[in-house]
Chain A
Amino acid sequence: MEPGVLIQILVWGLYAGCIYILLAIGLNLIFGVMKVVNFAHGELLMLGAYATFWIYTLSGVNPYLIIALAMIILGIIGVFIERLCFRPIKGTGKLNEIFLSLGLIYLFQNLAALLWTTDSRSIHSPYSNVSVSVGSVRLPLDYIIIILFTIVFLIAFQLFMKRTTIGRAMRATSQNRDAAALMGINVERMDMLSFALGSALAAAAGSLWLISGQIVDPYMGSIPAIKAFAVVIIGGLGSIPGAIVAGLTLGIAENVVPLFMQSFAGLLGVSMSFTAWKDTIAFFILIIVLVIRPTGIFGEKGE
């Protein structure tokens, strides 16, 4: 394989990894603070993408500028979900939480089908025709913006979590809920904030997904959500650095490994296509990590 081709494929992997990271961090944040596994997180990505599509169609402004608005809308929806759905059943058993979030998947999918029909929707980025040359490789500007956006976002997120009072309070709640409550932290408010922030991050992922030229329909959330769960488990439940490392690893691996497998099969004289094995590879990595380190790369015991 030529180096140029490999670089190009690595960039596709990085792009995919960025979407997974944004989605997985939100999922992790909600789990870390509330200890709730939200299976409907992919549907928040879908709603985020629809929010961007909707505002773009109505206003026609640069879709990158709409991301912030989509994040706010989904943040508010996140607050409602937490207050109306998860808070009332908190402490009544994990099974209730699981079934509630599974129910939310169908609710949001049907809601989106009602609002926007089941037709696929897409938007065209104003930079869709612009490419940047990196050596012999031409990379579309949108992917570079998405990668940079994710980096900036992760830095801002880390600063928020480490330097601000609310961020510290959220971390404290995540580490020991009872101790945090005894120290005067309003843990219920932290639940609400973590759900809002997690939903906003899913909206960012959905918006970037749409702007990069992907399509949105009511059922699009399930596959990215499954990948995000894999990222969370590989990285370690509740671990933000783990989600970053696992997201990038998964994004790159599922793009590059099939090609290596194909080359290897070629060396053995077998002509076989492995490009449909992307998901298999993602879950193979998941199994390996769980066998070697059941708590995930950065996970702690007891999570």
Chain B
Amino acid sequence: MKMNKKYGILFAVLVVSVLLVFAASVGQSKEPGVEEIKIGIVAPLTGGASTTGTDMWQSAVLAAEQINAKGGVDVGGVYVPITLVKGDTETSRESGVKAVTKLITEDKVDLLIGGFSSGITYADQVVAAEHKVPFIITGASSPIVTRRTDIDTSYFFHHCPTTDDYPEATLLFVNEVVKPEIYERFNFSEDRPLRLGVLYQDSKYGEGVYEGIKKAIEKHNLNMEIVSAEKFKMSETDFRTVLTVIKESKPDVVYVAAFLNEQTLIVTQGRKDVGMNTIYLSVECNDDPDYYTGVGRWGEYSIQESRFSPYTIPSGPIHEAVEKFREDFKNRWGTSPSMMGASTYEGVYIAAEAIKNAGTLDKEKVRASLAELEMPQIVEVMQNGVINFSSDYRESKFALYMEQLIWNESVGETRPKIVWPDSIKETDFVLPDWYEPGSSPAATATATKATEECKTLWYFDEESLKCQQKEFCGMYMYKGLRTFETEEECKAALDKYLREKGEEKETPAPEEPGFEAFLTIASLLAIAYMVQRRRK
């Protein structure tokens, strides 16, 4: 009897368990996405690239909030809100794989957006391919992410210019604008090929740019010669030796494929330490406020390829949209959006449009809808003004433009001005006086003479805030130095500078984080020390 009771209890427990599991499985089998559209944002929210990652996340949040404020996305006649889920790659491949795996298997997202860094995306997209989840890649520049053959890439849509696109636009600009200026000033023969020095990061991104340079020269039959091609390890900080080697190859212009921290050091060390007074060509990821602050005056007259700038907006139909995006972003987050943020913002709108056209959250149908998508450009200028993905490698095509960094006295930093293409340019390209071309001894001698010319000027700097006169020879500049032809000009500028500085002091500037936290930590350490002593 006792045994029967025991088995009865066991049987009851078993039945209840089975019922519970059944109920749970019924709950889970409910069509996901009926109540919400889950989008995973794959971005480096921590680690070395966390600034960019945070910007990508904030831009995506802004887009999702804007869409949700209008009721959400029309999915087969029902308006469904977007829910974003963070996928932190921690700026590493291993964590990228973990983040995408979690987004797909645990969070069960309907779609992925983001993917900063080609190397990280190359690793984590394997998981997305395996689970056949559509992925709008907005932050990886290597074309390989949609062209590799070892996985099924048909679910990947590349909404970011590739490393083939950057050099093509940049070298066409150099050929059309920079080369004629150099050749005219130094009386070079048209037959002489333009001498191009290349310094690139030893990564998929850097190698991609270098290959893109070679392809662009060949594709457009450009009269250019690569006189040096040197690479450096990612996160390198000492470029003096490699820049000295490039200088020795006597380039007319130097194309650098680097990330922001590296680019800042390359231009600064190249001009300040190595004395390579040339035109530096930079890839778009460096069109960032931190770059302008870091590079200071050494970046003056260098060239920046771009598609979304923090300080300038191309004229044309998207001008208002960009201004509104910036304003909305600033109101929401208190800062300005970056380029990667802009494409991620667009990525959310692209996803919404594709889901709306598909009328379902079925991944295969959303993929097909993305492949056939055709929608107006949003905040970045697209070729033909339309966002669509190419039928071969599912790449959207951006209309890239070139900026030149011009010194801005009022902010004490350089600011970009669009110099190409002609349809949207703000100003003409300037070949600076200190510029030194590559080979041709006669020309170099002329250039050296030009830079070593001395001139007596009035000046003031941040160290001595009074107008003084001094003889300046050759290239003489540093952050904070301002020079003038006359004493009056100098005094007027100094007055203005002091006024602005006074105003700056009155306005509470955003505080450098640190002081309070530092004191708190120091106090905690001291308390811990005292406690330990007492214990002894």
Contacts and interface: CB of A to CB of B under 8 A. Distances in A.
Interface of A: 1-2, 5, 8-9, 12-13, 16, 54, 57-58, 80, 83-84, 88, 111, 113-120, 122, 124, 126, 128-129, 131, 138, 140, 143, 213-215, 217, 219-220, 223, 255-256, 258-259, 262, 273, 275-276, 278-279
A21 to B, nearest CB: 15
Interface in B333-382: none
6 contacts: A16-B238, A57-B512, A111-B521, A220-B237, A259-B245, A275-B242
A119 to B, nearest CB: 6
Contact of B241 (A2, A80, A143, A255): A255
Contact of B478 (A113, A116, A124): A124
Contact of A213 (B242, B265, B512): B265
B514 A54 contact: yes
Nearest to A124: B479
Given A80-B525, A84-B525, A214 B265 contact: yes
A196 to B, nearest CB: 14
B478 A276 contact: no
Nearest to A129: B478
B231 A275 contact: yes
A120 B290 contact: yes
A12 B241 contact: yes
B248 A114 contact: no
B230 interface: yes
A95 to B, nearest CB: 23
Contacts, number: 118
A140 B513 contact: no
A126 B514 CA distance: 25
Interface string B490-519: 000000000000000000000011100110
Which among A54, A58, A213, A256 has the highest number of chain B CB atoms within 10 Å?
A213
Interface string B465-482: 000000000001111110
Nearest to B49: A118
Contacts of A12: 238, 240-241, 244, 273
A275 B476 CA distance: 30
Contacts of A16: 238
A129 B231 CA distance: 27
Given A217-B48, A273-B230, A84 B528 contact: yes
Given A120-B260, A124-B480, 12 more contacts: A8-B244, A54-B512, A80-B525, A84-B529, A126-B463, A215-B237, A219-B48, A259-B241, A262-B245, A275-B245, A276-B231, A276-B232
Interface of B: 47-48, 50-51, 202, 229-233, 235-238, 240-242, 244-245, 248, 260-261, 264-265, 268-269, 272-275, 290, 294, 296, 463, 476-481, 512-514, 517-518, 521, 525, 528-529, 532
Contact of B264 (A1, A5, A122, A219): A122
Contacts of B525: 80, 84
B244 A9 contact: yes
Given A12-B241, A129-B476, A275-B242, A122 B294 contact: yes
A268 B521 CA distance: 59
A122 to B, nearest CB: 6
Nearest to B525: A80
B365 to A, nearest CB: 40
